Structure 1
Amino acid sequence: MTDASSPRGRLVYRRLGPADAEALHRLVSHWEVTRQLGSWPWPPDPGFTASRAVPYGGDGFVWAVCLEGALIGTVSVTAGELGYMFAPGHHGRGYGTEAARAAVSRAISDGVRELRAAVWADNVASRRLLARLGFTETARTREMSKARGEMTDSISFRLRAADFG
């Protein structure tokens, strides 16, 4: 994946890499971010962050989301599952929806026919974002949250490529 700009021209997407480790670690050093992630530890661990700040080699992609040259978040589709996180100072500005829409569009153009996503039930903003993209709820479960250190209510979603508009 080469660098790309968002359709609205605000954001740039590029492969996440080792040079992003410091900025990524600042991002996951916010409890309000990390508490919403399923597999990130709390307190933040620089070694764990560095292990994630590498080009993704599996099925899909992980993008750094940049605004005016600075990393403000990440968005990914790995093994058919959409994921994203954004720095608190950039919440509520439409960046998450814009980046997630770009990632879903790219995944569909790459041949993915169905995408999944999962969020903690108390993550209302992410539930709304997924609904805006056309995702529908498929299941409710309880899962272990690594950051929270407890079983947490989770909601799974699905989007068929044919339903994305």
Structure 2
Amino acid sequence: MSTLKDRLPATLATARLALATPALGHVREMAVLANNKAIHAVLSRLPHPYGESDGRFFVETIARGPEEFAWAIEHRGAFIGTIGLHLLPGRLPELGYWLGEPFWGQGFATEAGQAVVAAARAAGAPGLRSRALLDNHASRKVLGKLGFIDVGEDIDRTGTLTGRKVMQMRLEFGR
């Protein structure tokens, strides 16, 4: 029997974006965009400073590793961020994403998120979970547009956000 990960598409397309397997060709721009304190401040699994070696590690080890299924987000052929699902046994997949700061506020996160939500649903996921810092209103707004609802405040227990207040969010797929 195939797993959810086996049923997810390697590529997705939207009106403005192409989502594809992160590749070594993305690493240079990934390092430039991710090496940003404003991005690091809101993500629990992004190192700072972020260099090309971090990008290579992400592409070669994490992006399609045992617990991840990530897509590079491209706009007009240029890398602008990543989006993916963290897949842990016995838990709903967790949606996570980041965009380079020059691409904030243009609807790209929502557009990429809609594609991934639809793909996860089509692949048979019963729903998704996500989380955002309580004061990360932009990300919480994106998740709300995708249909996620707040399920409760929590304290992040892992990564660079350890000890900070987050809103746990959930999206249930009605079958």
Band of TM-score, shorter chain: 0.7 to 0.9
TM-score where L is the length of structure 2: 0.82
1:139 matched to which residue of 2?
152
Distance 1:21 1:72, change over 3 A: same
Distance in 2 separating the partners of 1:36 and 1:112: 26
For the Cα contact (< 8 Å) 1:42–1:146, is it kept in 2?
Answer: no
Distance, in Å, in 2 between the alignment partners of 1:26 and 1:147 is: 20
CA contact (8 A) 1:60 1:107 kept: no
Q: How far off its partner does 1:22 sit?
A: 1.6
Instruction: Please report the TM-score for the alignment, with normalisation by the length of structure 1.
Output: 0.87
1:96 corresponding residue in structure 2 = 109
Q: Does 1:108 align with 2:114?
A: no
The answer as to 2:74 corresponding to 1:66 is yes
**Alpha-carbon spacing, 1:15–1:32, altered in 2? closer, same or farther (3 Å):** same
Matched, 1:158 2:170: yes
Separation (CA, whole Å) in 2 of partners of 1:93 and 1:141: 29
Pairs aligned (count): 160
Distance 1:154 1:131 in 2: 15
Aligned to 1:41, the other structure's residue is in SS state coil
- Secondary structure of 1:151 counterpart: coil
The alignment status of 1:28 with 2:41, answered yes or no, reads no
Offset at residue 116 of structure 1 (A):
0.4
Instruction: Using the TM superposition, give the Cα deviation of residue 147 of structure 1 relative to its aligned residue in structure 2, in angstroms.
Output: 4.3
Partner SS state of residue 65, structure 1? strand
Q: Which residue of 2 aligns with 1:77?
A: 85
CA distance in 2, matches of 1:41, 1:141: 22
Identity of aligned residues (%): 26
CA distance, structure 1, for counterparts of residue 33 and residue 158 of structure 2: 18
Residue deviations 1:82-135, cap 9 Å, x none? 011001111111000000010010011011011000111111001111111111
* Structure 2 unaligned spans of 5+: 1-8, 88-92
Structure 2 residue 61 is the aligned partner of structure 1 residue 49: no
Question: Root-mean-square deviation (CA), in Å?
Answer: 2.0
Structure 1 gaps, min length 5: none
Runs of 4+ aligned structure 1 residues displaced above 4 Å come to 144-148
